[in-house]
Copies of this chain bind each other. A is one copy, B any other.
Amino acid sequence: MPSMGHSTEDDLHTKEMDIRSLPSSHHHSQNMHRIHKVGVPPKQNFFKEFKDTVKETFFSDEPLRPFKDQTKSRKFLLGIETFFPIVEWVRSYNLSKLRGDIIAGLTIASLCIPQDIGYAKLANLDPQYGLYSSFVPPLIYAFMGSSRDIAIGPVAVVSLLLGTLLQNEIDSETNPIEYRRLAFTATFFAGITEATLGFLRLGFLVDFLSHAAIVGFMGGAAITIALQQLKGFLGIKDFTKKTDIVSVMRSVFSSVNHGWNWQTILIGVTFLCFLLFAKFLGKRNKKLFWVPAIAPLISVILATFFVFITHAEKKGVAIVRHIDKGINPSSVNDIYFHGEYLGKGFRIGVVAGMIALTEAIAIGRTFAAMKDYQIDGNKEMVALGAMNVVGSMTSCYVATGSFSRSAVNFMAGCQTAVSNIVMSIVVLLTLLFITPLFKYTPNAILAAIIINAVINLIDIQATILIWKIDKFDFVACMGAFFGVIFVSVEIGLLIAVGISFAKILLQVTRPRTAILGKLPGTSVYRNILQYPEATKIPGILIVRVDSAIYFSNSNYIKERILRWLTDEEEKIKADGPQTIQFLIVEMSPVTDIDTSGINALEELYNTLQKRDLQLILANPGPTVIDKLHASKFANLIGQDKIFLTVADAVLSCNPKFAEEP
C-alpha cells in the first residue's frame, strides 16, 4: 500500500526540537497582538500512554481511589466492602431505616408474588419457579449490590426472551424436564456473563444498546407479552407458540366461536378494570402509591375466593391448579456442563444475561441519580452475576431489577437493600405455607396483572421526545418495536443492536464539516449556517472539521474540504476576479488523528499546492499537534502555518482583519 511521502530535511528536525522544548515561553509580537504558539505537550513514552488508555477505558471510575494511602488492615476491610457493600452500610443502619425498609419490602412482596407466578408462565416454567427466583437472588443481591432502591426478581421482558429462546431449542410441553435443565443452564451462563463483564471491567458494553433502541424494544416486548396474555384472558386452549402479532391474532380470531370462555373474560375484564383504576388513583395522588402496589394481591385473593366458592373452574375457567410447596430444591445437577445443550445454554444465557444487565444497570443509575449516590457499574454486574449463578443452582431462572417494583420500592421509602431481604422472607413464607391456597387462582387474573404491569413499559412520551430530538434514534426505536411485534424478540433485539451500531459507524464515517465566518464586532469565528450574520473573509476559506480524523473518515474529510473549496470558488467566480488563496482548517474539534488521517492531510496539502493555495491549521489539540510533529507534517506545511486561533490565522493571511475595537 502507498507509503507516505515526506519531504522533510534534517535541519527542520532540529528546529522542531527547539520548539518542542519551549512549548509555552515562545511568544513574539506581530501586529501588536501577542501570538501564542500552539503548545506541544511533553512527549510521553509508549507505556505511560498505553497505561493511560487502558486506565481510561477500563478503570475510568478509579475503583482503587479509596485504597490510596490506607493502612493494610484498612485496605483489607475496604476490599471486603468492595464485594460486600452491606458491610459498609450496615454499620450506620438504624431503626428508622428499618421501618422504611420493612414497609417497602412488604409492599414489593405483595406486588411480586402474583407477578412471579405470571412471569414464570412467560418463561414456560411452572409457577413456583417464579417464586423461587424471588427468594434466593434478592438475598444474594442484598449482600453484594450497591443500589439501595432496586427490587430484584423475575421480570417480564427477560422471562419472555428466555421463554422464546428456550422454546426454540426444546419444546416445554413434550420435554419439560430437559427444558427446565436448559433454563437453569442458561441462567448459570447469564450469571457467568454478567460477573465476567464486571470482573473484566467491560461494563461499558451495555452502553452500546442505545436508549432509543431500548425504548422501542421494551414497548414491543410489552405489546408481545400483553398479546400472549390473551390466551389466559380469553380462556383459549389452543394457542400458538409463536409470539408475532400475526400468528397471535390468527390464534385469537380462529378460536372466537368455540374457544373463548365468557366466565373467564368476565373475571379478567373486571379485575383488569380494577387494576387500571388503582393505577390511575396512584398516578393522580402520589401518596396513594400503595393502592396500585397491593391491588394485584387483592385481586388474586378476591378472584381465588370467588372461584373457590362458585367452582367456576368447572365452567371452563382455567386455574393455576397446582404449585409445589416448600423452598427451592437444589438444581446443581440439572445444569448441563457438557453435551450439545451446553453450547445452546451458553448462547441463550449470554443474550438473556446482557438484557437483564442492561435493565438492572439502567434502573440502578436512574434511582442513584434521584438520590445522588454513586453506583459502580462493574461492581453491580459482579453482584448480579453472582446472584444468578447461585440462583441457577437453586432452581431459579434469570432474575434482575424490575422497573415497576423498583419504582414502588422507591416510593414506599426503602432505605437500603434490606427491603429486598424483607421481600425475600415474605416469599419464603409464601412458599412454605401459602402456595396451596393459589390452587383456585384463575389464570385470567394473572393475565390481567401482567397486562397491567407491562403497559408501563410502553413509553409513548419518551417516543415522542425521541422523534423530536433525533430522527435517527426514532428509526432505531421503531425498528426494534416493529421487529419485536411482527417477527420475534430476538429479531427485534438484533435490529436494535444493528441500528445502534449503524449509528456509531455513520458518526465516524461521515463527520460534519462547517464553513466559518467572522461574527461582526468580535474575533470569534462561527458556523455561517448557525450564525447568518457571520461574514466570510475575502480570499480565505475557513473550514472546521467536527471529528477526530481516523481511517474511517480521513478520505471523506479530505474530499469534503475540497468540495467546499470548489463550491466556494464557483460562487465567487460569478462575482469577479477574486480568488481563494488561503484554506484555514479549524482543528479545535479534531481530538485525534491517526496515520490515515495524516496521510489525508498530506494529500490535501499536495492538491492545494498544485492549485497555489496555502494550507493553514488553527488550534490543533495536544494529541494532534504531537502527531503532526511526529509525522513531520508540521514541518512539511511549515511550523508558522499553525496558529492558536482562527483569528490569528486570518490575521497572518490578511493583517487588515485585525480584531475590531
Contacts and interface: CB of A to CB of B under 8 A. Distances in A.
20 contacts: A1-B214, A3-B461, A4-B462, A36-B524, A39-B526, A39-B531, A41-B530, A46-B471, A57-B506, A57-B509, A60-B560, A62-B563, A207-B553, A210-B552, A212-B596, A469-B593, A469-B630, A470-B595, A504-B508, A589-B589
Given A469-B627, A469-B631, A512-B591, A559 B60 contact: yes
Contacts of A637: none
Given A34-B521, A471-B50, A551-B212, A459 B526 contact: no
Interface stretch (A224-232, A273-281, A365-373): A365-373
Contacts of A178: none
A522 interface: yes
B62 A24 contact: no
Number of chain copies forming the complex: 2
A468 interface: yes
Nearest to A645: B524
A63 to B, nearest CB: 12
7 closest residue pairs by CB, A with B: A210-B551, A589-B589, A211-B596, A530-B622, A546-B591, A2-B366, A39-B530
A504 B503 CA distance: 12
B36 A507 contact: no
A621 interface: yes
A259 interface: no
A365 B555 contact: yes
A212 B60 CA distance: 27
Interface string A550-569: 11111110011001000000
Interface string A206-235: 011111101100100000000000000000
Interface in A583-613: 588-589, 591-596, 598-599, 603, 606-607, 610-611
Nearest to A46: B471
Interface in A507-551: 507-512, 514, 519, 521-522, 524, 526-527, 529-533, 546-548, 550-551
B592 A369 contact: no
Contacts of A524: 36, 644-645
A472 interface: yes
Contacts of A25: 533
Interface in A341-368: 359, 362-363, 365-366
Contacts of A596: 210-212
A53 interface: yes
A2 B465 CA distance: 13
A507 B505 CA distance: 11
A500 interface: yes
A504 B552 contact: yes
A625 interface: yes
Contact of A599 (B211, B372, B503, B529): B211
A621 B527 contact: yes
A85 interface: no
A2 B366 CA distance: 7
A594 B546 contact: no
A466 interface: yes
Given A212-B594, A504-B504, A519-B644, 7 more contacts: A2-B362, A2-B366, A34-B521, A39-B532, A207-B556, A210-B594, A524-B644
| Chain A interface residue number, banded | 35 or more
Contacts of A67: none
Contacts of A607: 369, 372
A271 interface: no
A472 B23 contact: no
A499 to B, nearest CB: 11
A88 interface: no
Interface string A620-636: 01110101001100000
A644 B522 CA distance: 11
Nearest to A589: B589
A467 to B, nearest CB: 9
A39 B526 CA distance: 10
> Which residue, A23, A46, A506, A622, has most C-beta atoms of chain B within 10 A?
A622
Nearest to A213: B551
Interface in A17-45: 23-25, 34, 36, 39-41
A76 interface: no
Contacts of A208: 505, 509, 551-552
Interface string A484-514: 0000000000000000100111111111101
A555 B208 CA distance: 11
A324 interface: no
A204 interface: yes
A212 B597 CA distance: 11
